Amino acid sequence: MTEFDPALTAGPDIELGLDTFGDMTVDEDGKRKSASQVIRDVVAQAVLADELGVYSIGLGEHHRDDFAISAPDIVLAAIAGQTGRIRLGTAVTVLSSDDPIRVYERFATLDAVSRGRAEVILGRGSFTESFPLFGFDLDDYEMLFEEKLDLFARLRTEQPVTWSGRHRSTLHEQRVYPRTESGHLAAWIGVGGSPESVVRSVTHQIPMMLAIIGGAPDRFVPYVDLYRRAQVQLADQTGQTAAMPLGAHSPGHVADTDEQALDEYWPHYRAMHDRIGRERGWPATTKDQLIAETRTGSQYVGSPDTVAARIAETAKRLGLTRFDFKYASGPMGHATLMRSIELYGTRVIPRVRELLGS
**What is the average pLDDT across 234-250?**
91
d(CA 185, CA 17) in angstroms, rounded, equals: 18
CB 21 within 8 A of CB 35: no
Averaged pLDDT of the chain: 96
**What's the confidence (pLDDT) of residue 3?**
65
Q: Is the pLDDT of residue 276 over 60?
A: yes
- Residue 23: what are its φ and ψ, rounded to 5°? -55, 140
Q: Is the pLDDT of residue 31 over 90?
A: yes
Q: Is the pLDDT of residue 6 over 90?
A: no
CB 76 within 8 A of CB 110: yes
What stretch of H or E contains 171?
strand 171-174
Q: What angle do CA 151, 154, 155 make, to 5 degrees?
A: 90
**What's the confidence (pLDDT) of residue 358?**
83
**What's the confidence (pLDDT) of residue 2?**
52
Q: Is the pLDDT of residue 240 over 90?
A: no
**What is the average pLDDT across 190-217?**
95
**What is the average pLDDT across 163-175?**
96
Q: Is the pLDDT of residue 26 over 70?
A: yes
Q: Is the pLDDT of residue 344 over 90?
A: yes
Q: Is the pLDDT of residue 1 over 60?
A: no
pLDDT digits (tens, 9 = 90+) for 216-231: 999 999 999 999 999 9
Beta strand 300-302 with 246-254 is: parallel
Q: DSSP string of 310-342?
A: HHHHHHHHHT-SEEEEE---SS--HHHHHHHHH
Q: Is the pLDDT of residue 341 over 70?
A: yes
